[in-house]
Amino acid sequence: MRPVGRFKRTPLRRYDLPAKNEGNLQHYKRFRRRHFDLPFFHFGSEVKMVGCVAGLLLILLFCNASAPVIEVPSAQERFTEWAKQQNEKTLQALPGNTPEPGSELYQIVNFSAEAQQTEIENQIAEQVKEEQAQIAVETADASAGGTALKHYEPGELSYHTDRMSVDIEQKQKDGITYFVCDIRLTDVSQLRTAFAGDDFKSGIYEAVSDIAGRYSPVLAINADFCRYHRNGVIIRNGELLRKQNITKHHLLIVDEHGDMSVLTDRSEKQGLVADRLSRANTWQTFEFGPVLVENGQATTLPKTFYVNCHDGYYEPRTAIGQAGPLHYIVIVVDGRREGYSTGCSIPKLQQLFLDEGVEFAFNLDGGGSTTLYFLGNVINMPSGGKQRSVSDVIMFMANPVQ
């Protein structure tokens, strides 16, 4: 049972009588007005507030009008002034007598930035004069046909001993100037190679004349620039230097008897080709191409290759071929010189070798590298106006290696 008196019933509201909490209702209305309605100011407080604001405005106006109007120095100007002050504090007079004006010591001590700028301008002017003089010389050569310094009479370029013979003929055909070098040796060791810095791993490049000048060959040409790429089978003077097979080149092989052949299938595993050639006492190998002539016949030129083999693509060229035992034909084609020689395409180079009756021919590095060195002089005209630095050369020596 429910305990008596624990719960009381709420009395019913009498709507006919006024509410007992009328005072609380008025307080609630005042609370709402004070916190949510606009504040109400008395007349006296408004006057005080306006007076304060007006006073502040007058003070600010007076301060602004009385401040001096000056130009504020920039950060660079302030830094310059600060550096000057620091220099005056740090620098002290040099011991000894003051240098006389006009003396060498006076000029050194008082060498200003303006004098330095003047000296630089003078150096630039001298350099411009030298360049203009060089251009004038080249223009004069071009106006004379470009052949004044590179024209040789038949029989002028020749060398004959009981061990070696070299005959070079300068020819002109279809707008190109080229050199045909007929070389006969008595021993395969007379066909030698050399590297820039005299070392395969030197990592430097030199002009053909600089490399060949240390060995005094009868004739030298640029080779295949074998250090330009890091792959390939490289055997030089009988020494195996690198044995990575490469697919984008053809491989020229000079065996122990001096006979030339080519390897175009490069699908064998790495090292197998190099090991086989090394065991066969191969004398030289060169990575470039394409092969131009085999067995006295023109080869089918590749459609896509390391160099552009299409007809109509003219460049300076260097190539080597073989006409018989220890009998070699080197053709060097000048190019990129209007009025003297435009260069030739790979099909045209192929035809030049066929005209010489070779049994084999192979294209080497060309372009700006094309250089023909004979008895201490460069006899062709490199396309860049000077020799390009290369990594290796082919040399034909007067005497066999003992």
* Predicted pLDDT at 130: 62
Select from 247, 293, 292 the least CA-distant residue to 273: 247
Range from 15-24, 55-64, 327-336 that averages highest in pLDDT: 327-336
Select from 332, 331, 333, 328 the least CA-distant residue to 360: 328
Given a cut of 70, whether residue 158 has pLDDT beyond it is yes
Range from 28-37, 52-61, 234-243 that averages highest in pLDDT: 234-243
Distance separating alpha carbons of residues 222 and 388, to the nearest angstrom:
10
| Number of Cβ within a 10 Å radius of residue 292 | 28
Average pLDDT over residues 235-246: 94
Given a cut of 60, whether residue 139 has pLDDT beyond it is no
Range from 9-23, 61-75, 232-246 that averages highest in pLDDT: 232-246
Query: With bands split at pLDDT 50, 70 and 90, how would you rate the model's confidence at 308?
Result: very high
Given a cut of 70, whether residue 160 has pLDDT beyond it is yes
Query: With bands split at pLDDT 50, 70 and 90, how would you rate the model's confidence at 61?
Result: confident
Given a cut of 50, whether residue 110 has pLDDT beyond it is yes
* Predicted pLDDT at 144: 42
Grouping H, G, I as helix, E, B as strand and the rest as coil, residue 108 is helix
* Predicted pLDDT at 241: 95
Average pLDDT over residues 203-217: 95
Residue carrying the six token digits 């740090």: 90
Tell me the per-residue pLDDT of 324-382, one tens digit each, with 9 for 90 and over: 999 999 999 999 988 899 999 999 999 999 999 999 999 999 999 999 999 999 999 99
Given a cut of 70, whether residue 13 has pLDDT beyond it is no
Query: With bands split at pLDDT 50, 70 and 90, how would you rate the model's confidence at 253?
Result: very high
Query: With bands split at pLDDT 50, 70 and 90, how would you rate the model's confidence at 3?
Result: low
Given a cut of 70, whether residue 195 has pLDDT beyond it is yes
Q: Which two tokens stand for residue 188?
A: 């395969």
Distance separating alpha carbons of residues 207 and 191, to the nearest angstrom:
19
Helices and strands: H and E segment counts in the chain: 8, 18
Distance separating alpha carbons of residues 208 and 371, to the nearest angstrom:
7
Distance separating alpha carbons of residues 318 and 364, to the nearest angstrom:
5
Select from 363, 389, 391 the least CA-distant residue to 307: 363
What's the whole-number average pLDDT of the chain?
A: 82
Backbone φ, ψ for residue 236 (5° rounding): -130, 130
Query: With bands split at pLDDT 50, 70 and 90, how would you rate the model's confidence at 147?
Result: very low
Given a cut of 60, whether residue 116 has pLDDT beyond it is no
Q: pTM for this one? A: 0.65
Who has greater pLDDT, 96 or 246?
A: 246
